[in-house]
Structure 1
Amino acid sequence: MKILLLEDNKRLSELIIDALEQKNYKVDWFENGKSAIDAIYDGYDCFILDINVPGIDGLSLLKEIRTMDEKTPAIIISANVDLDTIKNAYSKGCDEYIKKPFYIYELETKLKKLCIKEQSEVNLKDGFIYNISKETLYENNELVKLAKKEILLMTLFVKNYDKVVTFEQIEQYVWQGDLTTNENIRALVKRLRKKLPKDTILSQGGMGYKLNIN
């Protein structure tokens, strides 16, 4: 997943880049808006923009982005906590506004949620990627074979990655109206777990399961 980062604070940029690259994101860093404006047409999956940067500011760049792309997620990161500025950012098309200082984990979490909503590929753990539109799982670019029900279950988990997926939801989505038992569901989860990194699918106290991609 390819990200454009506009931030003039070198230390903060290094922290963001290091954290996101560990999650298999590719980050292109720009210190000023003038250097970034020509790059916004290069097919990014998300924009992370500071407001107060040299040259063209982050909100002006966001306005330019939205003239040609209304869909790609954009996150504003700024020390400016003025309500009018925040409203202005949302009116120009930002999806999230993160106030500095912030934990990198907060940025990662918001980025992950936005990208899962908009993108077909989701980074899991340890080099695993799931492509929702193609219904394919890859380990370090090598295809991992999944059975039909494993594909349906994986898709259900990814689409609800931040929620507990109940046994009832699994029965409805995977068995598609046919009745099954919790034992059959557990057996299916067990088979899928064997094809994923350890602790990717977490049990939730008899309620169901939750995908862990942190």
Structure 2
Amino acid sequence: MTKVLLAEDDPAISEPLARALRREGYEVDVVTDGESALAQALSAPDLLVLDLGLPKMDGLEVCRRLRAQGGTVPVLVLTARADEVDTVVGLDAGADDYVTKPFRLAELLARARALLRRGVVEPAADSLVRIDPEGRRVFLRGQEVQFTGKEFELLKLLVANEGKVVSRERIMREVWDSAWYTSTKTLDMHVSVLRKKLGDDASQPSYITTIRGVGFRFDAPRE
């Protein structure tokens, strides 16, 4: 059974949310402070739903320590901080997606499903990028590169369509499970992070090409 760790100290939020997740068929554990969230997240649940305003250790610090210790669980953050600066800080800390309080339950469940989706990617045989879908691991020239859950899903979709342009609308629909056709700043930030992790620099063509007004194309490095 898919296991969701819910870290939320407000029972008015955690209790109905836990019930809703269980109705979706997930096994749900609830913790009420950051230290407990970090400890249980390191035991590799399938998804961490994380409030930023936790006692003992706030959610951003939980994310930072989780990623620093090699935790790759997808993280869906619950936050009352909606401005762009806080979003960037959260992404840098290792969060994969956001739901802003007060949130609609249907939206949160949709985003949880998007983070939990799995798939199979078969890159070209001579590609220097290899994706292990079951282990949710990415290897570049034989060396493992760490990606958060949302970064992994985005890269997986682009690699699966190597050489083809993937529209922004399709990415938002399949990776974020969202119909955001007007604002895709989060997507642009994730693409920027992917480029850095894949080692793009000014001395070589980018693996991910922006097709202005349309979307993105992935061209894998070759042997």
Give the alignment's TM-score, normalised by structure 2.
0.51
CA contact (8 A) 2:41 2:73 kept: no
> Secondary structure of the equivalent of 1:76?
strand
Say whether 1:65 aligns with 2:69.
no
Tell me by how many angstroms 1:95 deviates.
1.1
Say whether 1:89 aligns with 2:72.
no
Counterpart-to-counterpart distance in 2, 1:118 and 1:64: 27
What's the CA shift string for 1:152-185, capped at 9, x where partnerless? xxxxxxxxxx78xxxxxxxxxxxxxxxxxxxxxx
Counterpart-to-counterpart distance in 1, 2:70 and 2:115: 15
Counterpart-to-counterpart distance in 1, 2:26 and 2:102: 22
- Letter matched to residue 25 of structure 1: Y
Counterpart-to-counterpart distance in 2, 1:105 and 1:115: 15
> Secondary structure of the equivalent of 1:117?
coil
- Letter matched to residue 83 of structure 1: E
CA contact (8 A) 1:62 1:94 kept: yes
Tell me by how many angstroms 1:91 deviates.
1.1
> Secondary structure of the equivalent of 2:25?
coil
Residue 117 of structure 2 aligns with which residue?
A: 116
CA contact (8 A) 1:70 1:93 kept: no
Taking only the aligned residue pairs, the percentage that are identical comes to 28
Residue 108 of structure 2 aligns with which residue?
A: 107
Count of aligned positions: 123
Tell me by how many angstroms 1:94 deviates.
1.1
Q: Where does the alignment leave 5 or more consecutive residues of structure 2 unmatched? A: 121-132, 135-172, 175-223
Residue 36 of structure 2 aligns with which residue?
A: 35
Tell me by how many angstroms 1:118 deviates.
6.8
Tell me by how many angstroms 1:34 deviates.
2.0
Counterpart-to-counterpart distance in 1, 2:71 and 2:54: 23
What's the CA shift string for 1:87-123, capped at 9, x where partnerless? 100111111111100011111100101111379xxxx
CA contact (8 A) 2:99 2:108 kept: yes
CA contact (8 A) 1:76 1:94 kept: yes
Q: Which structure would you say has the larger Rg?
A: 1
CA contact (8 A) 1:72 1:118 kept: no
Structure 1 residues 16 and 77 mapped into 2: Cα distance closer, same or farther (>3 Å)? Answer: same
Counterpart-to-counterpart distance in 1, 2:118 and 2:105: 20
- Letter matched to residue 115 of structure 1: L
What's the CA shift string for 1:121-172, capped at 9, x where partnerless? xxxxxxxxxxx97xxxxxxxxxxxxxxxxxxxxxxxxxxxx78xxxxxxxxx
Tell me by how many angstroms 1:83 deviates.
2.2
Residue 80 of structure 2 aligns with which residue?
A: 79
CA contact (8 A) 1:3 1:44 kept: yes
